Amino acid sequence: MSKSALHRGVGVALWRQIGDEIRRGIGAGLADENGRLPPEAELAARFGVNRHTVRAAIAALIHEGVLRSEQGRGTYVRRQKRLTYPIGTRTRFSAGLEGQARDRQVELLDHMKEPANAVVAAALGLGAGVDVIRLEMLGLADGVPISRSTSWFSATLFPDIAGYVARTHSITEALALSGTRDYRRASTTIEARHADDTDTRDLRLSPGAIVLVARGVNVDGNGKPIQYSQTRFSADRVELTVSPA
């Protein structure tokens, strides 16, 4: 839409700005039909910088897993399109990405029982300090980390949720095994911020990258809150769709 120029002396190195620009350009026709980027010399001319500066940008994107380059041939994009993740009343990780990635999977990184803090207690409608179970999860599409979420469940109602998730790799199935066959999204809040340490590690991002943060509550058929979760998405790999009804 607007051709964002580079800014010097604003605390962001040119190679990083160019890297962000290239990432954005991918999917907007920067690469050709084979996913091949223009040669370094041409990019340098287009951005009005030295080739070494473009090379630094490309090196960073290669490190992130966005690009891959071959001597004598050129530099190629690893994945062309951004995923679209639906946010609606009936969001399920795997079903939402169907048709966009061959392999979709939820991995349980960690789980623990802990007393609910004020926010979690309020969201789940529990008294403060009541025991809840916290799950740390990673969502993957074709082996690439897409989302990193933290969820809380009542320890009384879902004592075995962690085991079920570990076994089935699915929240929907784990809830079904716990006796909750249906659930829906009651509310979602979305914000954006720079990636922090946890994000860069788990989502394989570089510092300065953007994460979308979605916080929300899932309720059962009777409207009773069963899950509070906070999910971080890589803004480079995902966009969110708010589906009506």
**Residues making contact with DNA (CB under 7 A):** 8-11, 13-16, 37, 39-42, 48-50, 52-53, 55-56, 58, 69-75
Distance, CA of 12 to CA of 20 (rounded, Å): 11
Site string for a second copy, 90-129 (x = CB under 8 A): ----------------------------------------
Which has the closest alpha carbon to 75: 118, 129, 36?
36
Nearer to a second copy, 60 or 174 (CB): 60
Distance of alpha carbon 144 from alpha carbon 75, whole angstroms: 20
56 vs 210 by CB, closer to DNA: 56
Q: How many CB atoms lie within 10 A of CB 3?
A: 5
d(CA 104, CA 239): 16
- Select the span of 41-49, 138-146, 173-181, 200-208 touching a second copy (CB under 8 A): 200-208
Determine the Cα–Cα distance for residues 188 and 185; give it in Å rounded to an integer.
8
Q: CB of 236: closest distance to a second copy in angstroms?
A: 9
For a second copy, the closer of residues 3 and 73 by Cβ is 3
Work out what residue 225 binds among a second copy, DNA, none; the CB cut-off runs from 5 to 8 Å by kind: none
| Alpha carbon distance 20, 22 (integer Å) | 5
- Round to whole Å and give the CA distance between 126 and 118: 9
Residue 105, strand partner residues: 140
Give whichever of 105 and 200 is closer to a second copy, judged by the CB atom.
200
Q: Which residue has the tokens 């962000």?
A: 20
- Residues at the site binding a second copy, with contacts judged by CB under 8 A: 1-5, 7, 10-13, 15-17, 19-20, 24, 56, 60, 82, 84, 87, 89, 185-194, 196-198, 206-208, 210-212, 235, 239-245
